[in-house]
Amino acid sequence: MAWQRETFKKIKQIPREEHVLPGTTLCAGCGGLEALRLAAKVLGDDVLYVNAAGCFTMLAAYPFTPFKGSWLYTTMGSAPAGAQGVRDALDVLIAKGRLSKEEDLKVVVLGGDGSTYDMALSSTSGAVARKLDFYYFCYDNEAYGNTGMQLSPATPYGARTVTSPCSLQHPAGATQEKKDIFELWRAHKPPYIATVAPRYPLDLEEKFARAAKFTGPKLFLALSACPTGWLYDPGETPEVAKLAVETGLWPLKEAINGDVTHTYIPKRKPVEEYLKLQGRFRHLFEPTVQTDVIAHIQSRVTTYWERVKQTEQGA
Residues 160-219 that bind another protein (CB under 8 A): 165, 198-199, 201
Select from 3, 5, 7, 88 the one that contacts another protein (CB under 8 A). 88
Could you tell me the smallest distance in angstroms from the CB atom of residue 298 to another protein? 26
Could you tell me the smallest distance in angstroms from the CB atom of residue 233 to another protein? 7
Is 78 one of the binding residues for another protein (CB under 8 A)? yes
Select from 8, 24, 113, 255 the one that contacts another protein (CB under 8 A). 24
* Residue 192 to residue 216: CA distance in whole angstroms: 8
Instruction: Return the closest-CA partner of residue 245 out of 276, 268, 229, 272.
Output: 268
C-alpha torsion sign, points 119, 125, 130, 131: positive
Kindly tell me which of 94 and 315 has the beta carbon lying closer to another protein.
Answer: 94
Kindly tell me which of 182 and 200 has the beta carbon lying closer to another protein.
Answer: 200
Is 150 one of the binding residues for another protein (CB under 8 A)? no
Binding-residue pattern over the window 100 to 139 for another protein, x denoting contact by CB under 8 A: --xxxx----------------xx-xxx--x---------
Could you tell me the smallest distance in angstroms from the CB atom of residue 314 to another protein? 30
* Residue 187 to residue 49: CA distance in whole angstroms: 25
Fill in the amino acid letter for 121. L
Cα first-last separation, the chain: 6
Is 90 one of the binding residues for another protein (CB under 8 A)? yes
Could you tell me the smallest distance in angstroms from the CB atom of residue 309 to another protein? 31
Kindly tell me which of 85 and 171 has the beta carbon lying closer to another protein.
Answer: 85
Select from 8, 30, 155, 298 the one that contacts another protein (CB under 8 A). 30
Kindly tell me which of 48 and 154 has the beta carbon lying closer to another protein.
Answer: 48
Select from 39, 42, 54, 69 the one that contacts another protein (CB under 8 A). 69
Select from 27, 143, 159, 181 the one that contacts another protein (CB under 8 A). 27
Instruction: Return the closest-CA partner of residue 222 out of 132, 78, 116.
Output: 116
Kindly tell me which of 138 and 301 has the beta carbon lying closer to another protein.
Answer: 138
Q: CA gyration radius for the chain?
A: 19
Size of the site for another protein (CB under 8 A): 86
156 DSSP 8-state letter: P
Kindly tell me which of 119 and 271 has the beta carbon lying closer to another protein.
Answer: 119
Is 82 one of the binding residues for another protein (CB under 8 A)? yes
Could you tell me the smallest distance in angstroms from the CB atom of residue 1 to another protein? 27
Select from 85, 177, 214, 265 the one that contacts another protein (CB under 8 A). 85
* Residue 75 to residue 77: CA distance in whole angstroms: 6
Is 257 one of the binding residues for another protein (CB under 8 A)? no
155 DSSP 8-state letter: P
Q: How far does CA 265 lie from the centroid of its chain?
A: 19
Could you tell me the smallest distance in angstroms from the CB atom of residue 313 to another protein? 33
Long-range CB pairs of 183-188, under 8 A, 24+ apart, other chains included: 184/121, 185/124, 185/128, 185/219, 185/255, 186/255, 186/258, 186/260, 188/125, 188/128, 188/129, 188/217
C-alpha torsion sign, points 10, 12, 15, 19: positive
* Residue 8 to residue 155: CA distance in whole angstroms: 32
